[in-house]
Chain A
């Protein structure tokens, strides 16, 4: 079992850990050589592919200088102030360099270092229930109760529920755009100890599992008249900086790998669950497909019908949701209240 990677030893002097891109952009703007190279590079990347860009001497020089700057290694934080601006700066450099055609893209977000155990510790403070009662109770109902006892959670939860269940007309059951926005606010601004309990509660009966499935008001935020093709959905998501970043984050943190016992990168369940929750409120919103208690199946609202020659790629994309051992292990571990303890 490989441990987490050793921190890179060759970071530029005076630079410890990733700076956020908004700050890095300010730093670069204050330095004439950096800001002019950044401008050059952005012009190089606009409308050109990586290879023609690398062939150009001026572009290459700009790239070499920028590789030493904080701008090159910058990252963003989930739910930070100016998150969108930060991501725009990030993709302005990275989109041209990674060609944007990769199946998996690297996450523009800072790595998650906290662990599920942190959540459990906090959760136990306000649940305070004895284990005998817990074994019979409906965990999803308990999660809703816990949320209602917290002003912030209650306000944002009732906010998205009323937005998502407001009927507009006979043909339009709700405003999907507003519902998604309200859901994003809920998952960005409410701490994981509340949101994870609602999303990933463990269930022994159908009523509980149905409540879990209904958490995000799927009739508005998830289901639609037609099921689009998953690659089409991915294309729509990648056209939007925020959605693209959340999807890249999901792929980075939940991509199943044999290198770790839990199948999760770095055995980090918290990171996987966090990036799953980060997808809710976008085109690619995932949810439980049914109220089954025995098997957990997650999927975005799409299918691989009509994929033509891209069927293999489409199914690979869909399997990262439907048959992902990392995601499944993370959800189950959260439900059971177990976590792996990282090697020190």
Chain B
């Protein structure tokens, strides 16, 4: 059986001075019990641990097995001090002792019990100071906080003694008395004769988990009186004594699979509360203590779905005071992408089990009403018609092709293909858009646009779902319009090279729709996303996204796609691609640098002559 006895503190601290006499009590350790019959026995590990990982046989300290009083059995002289502080480079020499606890007298004095507390002894390189030189704080309390922890549901008992044994022993001419200041009805009792503090009843953490009291100490020396107050804190430790429950009794949720069929999609979530705390550290062990299991015989269901469990701390207020509890969330998640043809409905049950709670209501059943709807791969009953200017250049973006609801799809891969018509006019091609949701139609061969015999071209577009091979077709008409413009001489092939509005608008470049580049006039001041620049089409470039068509050739839209140097004030785009923001005008030499700078050619200033005229 597990040892029920435990220490209400993890650490104790006291000072030890040179040449203090043998028999001097240093501090008193208490133990609390699991059952009334238990008797606490204390013993020391026979090694002193010196910081810097040295240890030494303990020749000086002993503990009274029944009372827990730690005392000096032999005084420490200067030689002992020097020996214990070798290699101890800390400003303070400290030695550490482990105190062990057992419910029966110790047979073998070994350091191996799990229930132990640590005593730190600060070795002070001086003889004990005179009582009169000590402050009230030093006479009344040690440096360590008065902070205790008491397990819930355990029998009452004494857990602390306020009086410091060493001070009491040395400073008998001083009168030191204590009081424990507490609100009415607090389950602690202070015994003035022994200065011991007792917990008077079994505590319930779910009622209250923290008690804040004040220890007040009064020192009288003749007519002089000094007082000092310190906080006295008691934390109630939790055990798993509450079953899981459902907030508002909700144990059912709908889970619909339609357009979003991707692996990892969260379909629905149900919440379970527990008044007990659940440590998130270490995380995995807490997950194992609170399980959520899909109850099914159907291998398809267990392969296709999984349950994800997350939990966090919430607060309950049972009677005004706040106590911590846990909210467990169970999410039903797709374990793999589901085919567009799948169609079924069923109830999926998840058993939640609080494995450490020992009672009949340790589990709850959650129900998910799952409906998997098929989705159709079809074009809405329109045929596509796009007009393309005969002066458009290669990589000009004409439009998007999209099956019904295509933008809502996730986890469905659609490929778009153009089935070529009869004849020789094929100016356009298609590329897959982002996440295979749509197809981008663009000019692939601009020379075809210039041929007079090509006027209206009909294509068949086919969209195919990769997984189910389901496909659908529709008609696409491309109408060529406009008259051919004369090509300007000396124009660069990329719009982005042009630095001024005039040269921008009189030239064409890769990706232009009507034969001419477009100028975007920025309005912002400083470094802005709305910088001035020359682009094939303001709609697509620069929009901060390097799309599939722009990505085909670095000359189309380096403002969105460049990975090279940008000289001048700027901010880079996502993934270090493109110019997200720039100062003044940004222009680029494809495959080389981009520059962002303020245009220094100003409007002619009004000179003195002009001013006098005005």
Contact = CB atoms under 8 A, between A and B. Distances in A.
A307 B281 contact: yes
B125 A308 contact: no
Interface string A48-85: 00011011000000000001000011000000000000
A168 B572 CA distance: 10
Contacts of B90: 5, 106, 252, 265
Contacts of B54: 67, 72
Interface in B561-580: 572-576
A8 B143 contact: no
Contacts of A204: none
Contacts of A309: 149, 237-238, 277, 279
Given A2-B124, A309-B237, 7 more contacts: A6-B125, A8-B85, A11-B87, A106-B53, A166-B576, A307-B279, A308-B238
B559 interface: no
Interface string A225-266: 000110110010000000000000000100001111000011
Interface in B354-405: none
A315 to B, nearest CB: 10
**Interface pairs A-B: 3 shortest CB-CB:** A308-B279, A306-B280, A266-B91
A308 B277 contact: yes
A257 B281 contact: no
B83 interface: yes
B430 to A, nearest CB: 26
Interface of B: 10-11, 45, 47, 49, 51-55, 82-83, 85-93, 110-112, 122, 124-125, 143, 147, 149, 235, 237-238, 277-283, 311-313, 324, 572-576
Contacts of A54: 47, 55, 111
Nearest to A231: B281
B280 A229 contact: yes
Q: How large is the interface on A (under 10, 10 to 19, 20 to 34, 35 or more residues)?
A: 35 or more
27 contacts: A2-B91, A5-B125, A8-B87, A9-B82, A51-B45, A51-B111, A54-B47, A54-B111, A73-B52, A93-B53, A94-B53, A97-B55, A168-B574, A168-B576, A257-B92, A259-B122, A259-B143, A265-B90, A268-B91, A305-B313, A306-B279, A306-B280, A306-B281, A309-B237, A309-B279, A310-B281, A311-B324
A230 to B, nearest CB: 9
A305 B279 contact: no
A168 B122 CA distance: 52
B210 to A, nearest CB: 9
Interface in A18-66: 18, 51-52, 54-55
Nearest to A304: B313
A265 B54 CA distance: 21
Contact of A232 (B125, B281, B575, B576): B281
A10 B10 CA distance: 33
A11 B277 CA distance: 50
A200 to B, nearest CB: 22
Main secondary structure of the interface of A (DSSP, over half): loop
A337 interface: no
Nearest to A99: B49
Contact of B575 (A97, A111, A169, A312): A169
- Residue from B82, B92, B576 whose CB has the most chain A CB atoms within 10 Å: B92
Interface in A145-162: none
Given A9-B82, A265-B92, A312-B149, A106 B52 contact: yes
A55 B47 CA distance: 12
A18 B89 contact: yes
Contacts of A73: 52, 87
Contacts of A94: 52-53
Nearest to B580: A167
Interface string A295-315: 000000000011111111100
B200 to A, nearest CB: 22
A2 B277 CA distance: 44
A191 interface: no
B155 to A, nearest CB: 19
Nearest to A267: B91
B271 to A, nearest CB: 16
Contacts of A268: 91
A293 interface: no
Contacts of B324: 311
A231 B282 CA distance: 9
B147 to A, nearest CB: 6
A311 B93 CA distance: 29
Given A51-B112, A97-B53, A111 B89 contact: yes
Contacts of A307: 277, 279-281
A219 interface: no
Given A10-B86, A306-B312, A312 B91 contact: no
Contacts of B235: 311-312
Contacts of B85: 5, 8
A5 B126 CA distance: 11
B573 to A, nearest CB: 8
A10 B82 CA distance: 7
B544 to A, nearest CB: 10
A98 interface: yes
A37 to B, nearest CB: 15
B8 to A, nearest CB: 11
A72 B55 CA distance: 12
A171 to B, nearest CB: 10
A170 interface: yes
- Residue from B83, B85, B110, B572 whose CB has the most chain A CB atoms within 10 Å: B85
Nearest to A230: B281
